[in-house]
Amino acid sequence: MNFSFLSLPYLFGLAAALIPLVIHLSRSRRTKKMRFSTTRFFTDQFLRSYRMNRLKEIVLLLFRMALFALLAMALARPFFAPKGAIAAGGAGGKSRVAILVLDDSASMGLAENDVTLFAKAKQSANSILASLGSGDTASVILAGRRATGPEVLFPEPTGNLDDVRAAIAKRQVAALGTDLTAAITRAEELAMLARANKRSATVYVLSDLQESGWDAPTGDTARSDNADISYVFVNLKPAKTPNNRAVTAVRYAATRPRVGMPFALRPLLSLGKDDTKEATVKLFIDGAKFGEQKVERLPGNKWASPRFYHTFGETGWHGGYVEIDDESLAADNKRFFTLEIPTQTQTVSILAVNGAPSSVAHQDELFFLRFALTAAPEGQKAPFDITAIAPSEVASSELKSYPLVVLANVAELSESAVEKLEDYVDGGGKLLVFLGDRVVPDSYNRLLAGANRRQGGLLPATIRGVAPKAAGHIASIQYEHRALAAFQEPKLGSLLGPGLTFEALELDAPPQSVLMKSSNGLPLLCEKSFGKGQVLLFASTCDRDWSDFPIRPGFLVWSRSLAEYLTQSALSLQTGHRTGDIVRLATPPDDKGVLMVKKPDGTRALAMRASDGSGDFEWADTVEPGVYTVLRSDQQTQIGLFAVNLDSYESDLVYLSDGPDDETPEQRRTAVMKELKTRLGQAPFVGYIDDPSTLNEALGKSQGGFKLWDIVLLVVLMIALFEPWLANQISGRLFSKAAKPLVVPGPQAARVVETPQPISEGVR
C-alpha cells in the first residue's frame, strides 16, 4: 500500500480508536464499585452470568475501536498496488494528469552501448504516455538549468498525447547544468492545479539523479501541499560511472595581459579517480592552436597541473579555449575564455608616502620603485605615475583620487592620518606598505595593527622586535595568487634561489595571509582584505638598504604585478557565464542604436532591451557554450566578447544512488527512497525505478491496483450495522427478560428483592 502510518490521518485514527477504550475503562471502574456494594443483593448465579458476558463486551469494544480507526484510514485514501508496482496517483481512476520532468542536462549525453541516457529517458517517457488513458492529459518540463526557470513544453496539460510524443522526439541534450529542484517545484505547481480541478496528478522524474542537480535538502519537515501528489523517479544513471575528463576553469597569472609580455593561463582539470591514461591538453587562441601539453598522474593519486604561456602581439579583445581529450562527455571537454588588452595604455596615478627622501637620487627611498613603475618603451605612455608626499601630508591629502597609496619606510603616522587611511581602504582603496629602518614597530602595532582598531587594524601582520633579521632567500611563493602567478615562468626572472637574500623585520601573520616566505621561515609578503579594499605588506624595503632585490630584473616585473593587481579591475578576465544565464550588455556611450550578438555557430540576432529601464541590453540565448561577439548596430564593428561555459558542477558525475561498495541493492534502494522523500519534504507517495527496463512492468502492475479506501469504507459500514445488534445481544444476556424474585441469604429473615429490567448499554 502507498500510505505511511506516520501521516496525520492515521495518527488521528489511532487517537480516535482510544476513545471507546477510555470510556470502557471508566465504566468498568463504576461497575466494579456497584458490584462490590450490591453483591449481597445478587445471587452467585447472576454474577457467573455477568462474567461470561465480559468476553463479548471486549469484542464489542474492539469493534468500536476498529470503527474509529478504519474511518480515519479511509479519509487518508490508501491505494493498494501489487508488489513491484509504482505509486501512480489516480491509478484505477478515469482521469489523470501525468507531468514528465525530463532531464535534458549535459550529463544525460553520456552513452552506454552507443545509446545515450537521454535516449533512454525518451523511451521511458513514451512508455509512460502509452500507459495513459483516453481522458488523461500530460505535460513536459525540462530540468536543464536556465536563468528564466525550467522550460515547460505544455504549460496547460494536453490530452493530445501525439503532440507530447512529437515534442519529446524533437528535444536534444543541451549543454546545461541540472536543476531538478526547480523543475520538480514547477511540476508540483501544475499538479496542484490539477488537484484543484478534482483530478489526480503524478510527477514522473526521468533523470540520472546527479547529486549536483539538487539544492540542499530542506530537512525532515513534512509538507502538506504535496500530500496528494504522486512521484515516480526513473533512475537513468549509467551502469558503470565513466572516468570523465573535463576542463572546469581557466585561471590567469595577472590582472590583465600586456602586449609583448608572457601571460600565463592555468586550466583546472577534473579527472576520474580511476583514470590512469595520460591526458593531452591543448590551448587555442583566436582560432589558432598555440600549445599542447601532456598531463601525467603523480604519486598520491594526483595529477600534474598544466600551465600555458602566451605572448599577445595586438591590443583589443581575444577569445580562446582550453581542450582536453576525452570520449565520455563531450560537453565539458572545452573551457572558453575572453581577454581584453586595452588599445591605449592609460597612465595610473599612485600616491606614495616617502618616509626617507634624499636629495641624492639613488639614495631616495622611492628611486627604484619609481623607475620600475614608470619605465616604458620609447613612444609609449608610462603605465604608472607617482606623486610623492611626506608622512605629515597624509591627513590633508585627497586619498580617494588615487586607486593605490604606497607607504615607503614611513616611521609613523598620526592618529588622524591612520583614520583617513582606514576610511580610504574600507571604501575600496588599496594600500601597499614597504617596511625599513625608520619604521617604529610599536607605533605600527598600535595604530595600524592594533586589535582595538577597525577590523583589527589595516596591516595583515604585527611586527616582532625592532631590528631587521637575516631572512635568507625567497623559498616559497603563492603561485595561485594573481599577482605572483607569472613568476612560475622562468622567462620573467625567477625570484627563488640563494642568489637573492634579504634582511627583513620579523612578522607575526596568519598562515593564510602569507604570499611569500623566506628560507628562514619569515613572512615576506602578506595580504589582508579590509572592507572593500586590499592591503599588501612587504617585510623588507623598496630600496637597496636591506637587499639587492631592487636592482634585479625580477623587481620590475614583481612591483608592476603588485601595482596592477591593486589598481586594475579583473572584470575583463572573468571566465564568462554559465549556459542558460542572461548576459547583461552595456550600451556604448557613443552608440544609441541596437546591439547585435554573433553566436559561436556564426548566426546573429538582436539583443533585447533590459526591462528595468536602464537602457542596457540583455542576451538570453546562451544554451551553446563558446565565445559570443557583441557588435554595434552596423553589425560589423566589434564592441567586445564574452564567454559562455557549461556549469562546472555538471562534470562532477556523483549520483544520488551511489553508495558504499558493501551495500546490498535493497539497502541502497531503501537509502535512495529515504533521501528522495527528504528532498521532497516527506511526500507520502513516492515510487522509485532503479532499472528503466522494468518501467513497463511497473506501469502495468500499477494499472492493476485498486482504491483500498473503498473497501475500508465498506468494512466501516458493516461494523456500524453489526455493532448495535451485538450490543443488544450482550445487554439481553446480561439481564433476564423480566424481574424475578430472589432470595438473598442472610442471618435475618429472608426478604425479596427484584432484579432491574434490562436497560440499554449506553444508559447503563
Q: When comparing pLDDT for 612 and 81, which is higher? A: 612
User: pLDDT-derived band of residue 420, with 50, 70 and 90 as boundaries?
Assistant: very high
pLDDT digits (tens, 9 = 90+) for 282-303: 999 999 999 999 987 776 666 7
Which residue matches cell numbers 561577439?
A: 629
User: pLDDT-derived band of residue 748, with 50, 70 and 90 as boundaries?
Assistant: very low
Q: What is the pLDDT of residue 79?
A: 53
pLDDT digits (tens, 9 = 90+) for 693-707: 888 888 876 655 445
pLDDT score of 643 more than 80: yes
pLDDT digits (tens, 9 = 90+) for 448-495: 999 999 999 999 999 998 999 999 999 888 877 878 877 766 655 567
From 648, 641, 628, select the one nearest 267 (Cα to Cα).
Answer: 648
Q: What is the pLDDT of residue 379?
A: 72
pLDDT score of 36 more than 50: no
pLDDT digits (tens, 9 = 90+) for 247-264: 988 887 666 677 777 788
User: pLDDT-derived band of residue 546, with 50, 70 and 90 as boundaries?
Assistant: very high
Q: What is the pLDDT of residue 227?
A: 74
CATH topology of 82-241+654-704 equal to that of 348-571?
A: yes
Give the span between the Cα atoms of 472 and 476, in whole angstroms: 12
pLDDT score of 343 more than 90: no
Residue 271 to residues 152, 211, 243, 298, 544, Cα–Cα distance (Å) = 34, 18, 7, 12, 47
Q: What is the mean pLDDT of residues 586-593?
A: 66
Q: What is the DSSP letter of 433?
A: E
Mean pLDDT of the chain: 81
Q: What is 82-241+654-704's CATH superfamily?
A: von Willebrand factor, type A domain (3.40.50.410)
Q: What is 348-571's CATH superfamily?
A: Class I glutamine amidotransferase (GATase) domain (3.40.50.880)
pLDDT digits (tens, 9 = 90+) for 108-162: 999 988 899 999 999 999 999 999 988 899 999 999 999 889 999 999 999 999 9
Q: What is the pLDDT of residue 249?
A: 87
pLDDT score of 515 more than 90: yes
What are the CB-based long-range contacts (under 8 Å, 24+) for 276-280? 279/245, 279/303, 279/324, 279/325, 280/324, 280/325
Q: What is the pLDDT of residue 121?
A: 96
Cα dihedral 656→662→667→672 (10° resolution): 0
pLDDT digits (tens, 9 = 90+) for 661-671: 788 888 999 99
Q: What is the mean pLDDT of residues 23-47?
A: 50
Query: What's the number of CA atoms in the CB half-sphere (13 Å) around residue 503?
Result: 12
Residue 26 to residues 30, 35, 68, 512, 617, Cα–Cα distance (Å) = 7, 14, 19, 72, 78
The highest-level CATH class for domain 246-343 is mainly beta
User: pLDDT-derived band of residue 738, with 50, 70 and 90 as boundaries?
Assistant: very low
Q: Give the lowest-confidence range in 177-186, 487-496, 582-591.
A: 487-496
Give the span between the Cα atoms of 250 and 242, in whole angstroms: 24
Q: What is the pLDDT of residue 482?
A: 75
DSSP H/E element including 384: strand 384-389
Contact 80, 705 (CB under 8 A): yes
pLDDT score of 218 more than 70: no
Give the span between the Cα atoms of 421 and 448, in whole angstroms: 10
Q: When comparing pLDDT for 3 and 182, which is higher? A: 182
Contact 230, 200 (CB under 8 A): yes
Q: What is the mean pLDDT of residues 593-609?
A: 90
pTM of the model: 0.65
Give residues with Cβ within 8 angstroms of 532, minimum separation 6. Answer: 426, 427, 428
User: pLDDT-derived band of residue 19, with 50, 70 and 90 as boundaries?
Assistant: low
Q: What is the pLDDT of residue 636?
A: 82
Q: When comparing pLDDT for 220 and 379, which is higher? A: 379
Contact 104, 118 (CB under 8 A): yes
Contact 276, 296 (CB under 8 A): no
User: pLDDT-derived band of residue 496, with 50, 70 and 90 as boundaries?
Assistant: confident
- % of the chain surpassing 70 pLDDT: 74
Which residue matches cell numbers 462490590?
A: 36
Q: Give the lowest-confidence range in 203-207, 393-397, 494-498, 534-538.
A: 494-498
pLDDT score of 762 more than 80: no
Q: What is the separation of C-alpha 737 from the centre of its chain, rounded to a whole number of angstroms?
A: 78
How many Å from the N-terminal Cα to the C-terminal Cα in the chain? 41
Give the span between the Cα atoms of 408 and 365, in whole angstroms: 7
- What are the residue ranges spanned by the domains of the chain? 8-78+710-754, 82-241+654-704, 246-343, 348-571, 583-636
Give the span between the Cα atoms of 358 and 364, in whole angstroms: 5
> Helix %, strand %, coil % for the chain, to 5?
30, 25, 40
pLDDT score of 369 more than 90: yes
pLDDT score of 439 more than 90: yes
Give the span between the Cα atoms of 560 and 555, in whole angstroms: 8
- % of the chain surpassing 90 pLDDT: 43
- Provide φ and ψ at 147, rounded to 5°: -65, -30
β-bridge pairing 752-754 and 741-743: antiparallel
User: pLDDT-derived band of residue 630, with 50, 70 and 90 as boundaries?
Assistant: very high
Q: When comparing pLDDT for 129 and 749, which is higher? A: 129
Give the span between the Cα atoms of 252 and 576, in whole angstroms: 13
